[in-house]
């Protein structure tokens, strides 16, 4: 477990290093505070959709051969497992949040803490993390994208409810027409019908560059935003808010623990029904690792858009993100160790 912890710690340190340029540029006044809103818009509406396209449709030759060697039935079964585990975990955590904060006096703050608990940075941090963690296993990244689809559906419904405190702001039309959902539908079609996946046509392989380059910017931009936010905060803002630590603990410990229990339950049920069933381990592990990531960067963007408490969102987001550098290696390595004992 020691080597596994060290590996995950190094991954988190490498990913977190992108915080530094944003922090420095803001401190020396080369970036305005408003830059975070523009960067968040690019992140949510450009980079995230193309990250999904890239993860599901663009592969090197070896990864593409490995994916095509699997039957579509096996892939669909794995996708269904990831989708089911993710959905059940989100529903359970939603219920837990409602119970935990049912008597909390500040309903706006309760909504933000609930959002932090429920939604992880599964795309911007989760994808590069699992790529390095799994030694670039192509299916691991694909399964994270299935989790990301569930994440998007819940964030634009339950997440909006948490931020606004009202169901009136929830629009299923906006969910369906969300760029991430549209990109997911296109990507899934191209993934399961490889004959029309033009990104993998040798004759026009240069077009891979478009989704690849924009997908690669997701983590740097996400962490740059964190750095800019930190630059505008005092040490008291970051480290002297007890509820920020509580929300961080719920996000980084409770959420992956609940997801691990759900994954173990699904694994036991599948083996009981069909002992000879063979599923990829990452069909079960991808939701756990995705849920173990730091808080979703969209909490600040959502608070800004729906006139929530942006200051509290930013403070809690930054505090939980900073402590995640130490906590994520612990939870990820613990989950892998538990799974290895099966």
Interval 147-169: pLDDT, tens? 999 998 898 889 888 988 887 77
CATH of the domain at 315: 1.20.1530.20
Q: Report the C-alpha gap between 70 and 103 in whole angstroms.
A: 50
Where b means 16+ CB within 10 Å and e means fewer, 270-303 reads beeeeeeeebbbbbbbbbbbbbbbbbbbbbbbbb
Average pLDDT over every residue of 56-61: 87
State what percent of residues in the chain have pLDDT above 70: 98
Domain span at residue 88 reads: 2-340
Say if residue 25's pLDDT is above 80. yes
58 secondary structure, DSSP code: -
Mean pLDDT for the chain overall: 86
Interval 300-331: pLDDT, tens? 777 777 777 777 888 888 888 888 888 988 88
Both tokens of 167, joined, read: 């169901």
- Total domain count for the chain? 1
DSSP string, 202-241: GGGGGGGHHHHHHHHTHHHHHHHHHHHHHHTS-HHHHHS-
Q: Which residue did the predictor score with more confidence, 180 or 304?
A: 180
295 secondary structure, DSSP code: B
Both tokens of 199, joined, read: 């990104």
Q: Are 121 and 155 in contact (CB under 8 A)?
A: no
DSSP string, 72-98: HHHHHHHHHHHHHHHHHHHHHHHHHHH
Interval 62-116: pLDDT, tens? 888 888 888 888 889 999 999 999 999 999 999 999 999 888 888 888 999 999 9
């Amino acid at each position: 477990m020691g080597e596994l912890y060290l590996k995950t710690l190094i991954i988190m340190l490498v990913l977190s290093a992108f915080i530094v340029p944003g922090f420095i540029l803001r401190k020396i006044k080369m970036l305005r505070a408003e830059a975070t809103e523009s960067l968040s818009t690019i992140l949510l509406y450009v980079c995230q959709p193309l990250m999904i396209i890239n993860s599901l449709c663009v592969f090197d030759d070896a990864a593409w051969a490995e994916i095509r060697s699997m039957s579509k039935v096996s892939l669909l079964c794995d996708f269904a497992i990831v989708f089911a585990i993710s959905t059940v975990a989100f529903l359970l955590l939603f219920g837990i949040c409602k119970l935990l904060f049912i008597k909390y006096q500040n309903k706006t703050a309760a909504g933000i803490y609930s959002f932090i608990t429920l939604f992880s940075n599964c795309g911007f941090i989760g994808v590069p993390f699992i790529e390095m963690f799994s030694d670039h296993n192509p299916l691991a990244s694909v399964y994270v994208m299935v989790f990301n689809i569930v994440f998007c559906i819940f964030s634009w419904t339950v997440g909006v409810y948490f931020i606004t405190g009202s169901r009136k702001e929830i629009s299923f039309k906006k969910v369906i027409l969300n760029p991430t959902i549209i990109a997911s539908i296109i990507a899934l079609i191209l993934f399961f019908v490889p004959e029309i996946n033009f990104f993998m046509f040798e004759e026009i392989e240069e077009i891979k560059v478009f989704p690849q380059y924009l997908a690669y910017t997701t983590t740097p931009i996400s962490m740059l935003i964190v750095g800019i936010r930190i630059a505008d905060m005092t040490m008291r803002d970051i480290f002297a808010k007890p509820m920020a630590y509580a929300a961080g603990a719920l996000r980084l410990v409770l959420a992956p623990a609940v997801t691990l229990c759900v994954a173990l339950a699904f694994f036991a049920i599948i083996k009981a029904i069909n002992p000879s069933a063979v599923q990829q381990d990452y069909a079960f592990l991808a939701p756990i690792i995705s849920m173990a990531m730091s808080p979703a960067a969209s909490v600040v963007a959502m608070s800004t858009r729906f006139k929530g408490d942006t200051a509290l969102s930013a403070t809690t987001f930054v505090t939980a993100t900073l402590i995640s550098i130490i906590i994520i290696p612990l939870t990820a390595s613990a989950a892998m160790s538990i799974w290895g004992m099966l």
